[in-house]
Amino acid sequence: MSSIHPSSAGPLRLMTVHAHPDDESSKGAATTARYVAEGHEVMVVTCTGGEAGSILNPAMDRPEVMENMAEIRRAEMSRAAEILGVEHRWLGFVDSGLPEGDPKPPLPDGCFATQPLDVATERLVRVVREFRPHVLVTYDENGGYPHPDHIRCHEISVAAFEAAGDPDRFPDSGAPWQPLKLYYSHGFSKKRMVAFHEALLSRGLESPYEEWLANWPADRADPADRVTTRVRCADWFETRDKALLAHETQIDPTSRWFSVPLEIQREIWPTEDYELVRSLVDTPTPEDDLFAGLRSPVAVRQAV
């Protein structure tokens, strides 16, 4: 089932950094569940509480839910973390919301996206130095999609990767620790949509991707072209879906998230995909493991 063997260096540590609760379940959740199952340590860091999120599941669109959105989203995140088997930390910033309109309104005072970069980075550095991850995963420079919190999440994750091992940066935020690899997650790709679209149609099933593909801008790059690392994790797709469904306010169980049967997903696209952007260990690409290059005690000792 697994091509990744336990490390002779003992459990390795993976940290994934996300903007809002539910992002950890829609981006790389099967990967994290797999590494947990294989005995490694995984921590999910959530930058904001998701307080500004809309209710996207009609069954949860009730006044009492909106009135208690922050508390409910914390409870949803706790359930998702339990399903995935990961440790979890809140950074404690306030959701910026997604500004809409022309011109777009200013972001709320004090929200995550308006925080000074060093203020937000210091808070993440503190968690990095506490957990001491070997690998850090975040979003690309576009945030996966251009939500201001996703972009700020990218910015502080890259900054924390650089700062956490520097004793001169944030000296009051714990003993220095240098992560060894930095990845961007790339789950939303045209190639993946095309593969599922064609697989559904070939089986006489309806595809939810036709409109998306028709509207994909001709000049828009496909993130799949940047992928260096494909982690086989099809056996954990069901766990991923259970974690997604734990976010009841955000995930409609009848939505397109679940329109491709798991058996088709496992056959057509059995991986979650990443881009290696920094590595302090030797690891040729393409890879099939976020811990590639870290599987021996010698490699880890030499790099740290």
Report the run of H or E that residue 41 belongs to, with start and end: strand 41-48
The alpha carbon of 40 is separated from its chain's Cα centroid by a whole number of angstroms, namely 17
Instruction: Give the HSE-up count for residue 60: Cα atoms under 13 Å, Cβ half-sphere.
Output: 22
40 annotated to a ligand binding site: no
282 annotated to a ligand binding site: no
- Angle subtended at Cα 94 by Cα 93 and Cα 100, rounded to the nearest 5 degrees: 135
Q: Using CA of residue 262, residue 265, residue 270, residue 275, what is the dihedral sign?
A: negative
Instruction: Give the HSE-up count for residue 216: Cα atoms under 13 Å, Cβ half-sphere.
Output: 15
CA distances from 128 to 29, 114, 170, 208, 265 (A): 20, 22, 12, 39, 33
Rg from Cα positions in the chain: 19
20 annotated to a ligand binding site: yes
d(C-alpha 109, C-alpha 183), whole Å: 31
Report the run of H or E that residue 252 belongs to, with start and end: none
User: Could you tell me which of 19, 45, 20 has the C-alpha nearest to residue 32?
Assistant: 45
d(C-alpha 245, C-alpha 240), whole Å: 9
Beta-carbon contacts of 86 under 8 Å, excluding residues fewer than 6 positions away, are 24, 32, 36, 42, 43, 44
d(C-alpha 80, C-alpha 70), whole Å: 15
Binding-site entries: 20, 23, 150
Binding-site entries for Zn(2+): 20, 23, 150
